[in-house]
Amino acid sequence: METRDKLLILIVIAWIAAAVYFKTTTDQIFSRLDEMEQLQIKHVDEVNQEFRNDLKTLNLQFIGRGKHLRTAQKDIVSNNTFINQVSDSLGRNIETVELDLDNFERDTEQNFSTANQAREDITKDLGSFRRQQRRFIGDLDQRVTTIETDVKDLNERVPPKPEEEEESSSRKR
């Protein structure tokens, strides 16, 4: 046997050893994959069971919440009707107050215009009264001066008695 044949036998044995190793390794991997598949199926079943239980619990909770939602919706509807009634009432009250304010404003404007007219009339009357008083005072001044001139003229024409002069001078003091 030559070295070449020995080398070929060695290579064939190495190939057979590699094939046996590969076969045992793949068998172990396949058995491990089978175990993992079984565990996965078991795990998926557990998860699905938990999901179903949780889903059932949630459905029951939603049914309970649905009842609460219906009562809340009824409360909301009743609150909306109450709000509408109150807003209608407030609208009427606001309109009433607005009309009252309009009437008050109109009455106040009329009172102010009446007061302004009365003030203007009083101002005119006062101006007329002042003019009359000035004329009257002017007439009185004129009469006084006329009387004084008449008295002087009379004194010049008729001289007063000496006793009267003393009395009139003592009166002036």
pTM of the model: 0.38
Q: What is the rounded distance in angstroms from the CA atom of residue 97 to the CA atom of residue 104?
A: 10
Name 39's Cβ contacts closer than 8 Å, sequence gap at least 6.
none
Question: What amino acid occupies position 85?
Answer: Q
For 40-63, how does the pLDDT look when each residue is reduced to its tens digit (9 = 90+)? 999 999 999 998 888 888 887 777
Instruction: Tally Cβ neighbours within 10 Å of residue 173.
Output: 4
For 93-152, how does the pLDDT look when each residue is reduced to its tens digit (9 = 90+)? 999 999 999 999 999 999 999 999 999 999 999 999 999 999 999 999 999 999 999 999
The pLDDT-based confidence of 70 (bands split at 50, 70, 90) is confident
Length of the chain: 173
| Paired tokens of 158 | 């008729």
Name 168's Cβ contacts closer than 8 Å, sequence gap at least 6.
160
Q: Which helix (H) or strand (E) holds 112?
A: helix 3-157
Q: Would you list the domain boundaries of the chain?
A: 3-157
| SS3 state at 2 | coil
Q: What is the rounded distance in angstroms from the CA atom of residue 65 to the CA atom of residue 59?
A: 10
Question: What amino acid occupies position 155?
Answer: N
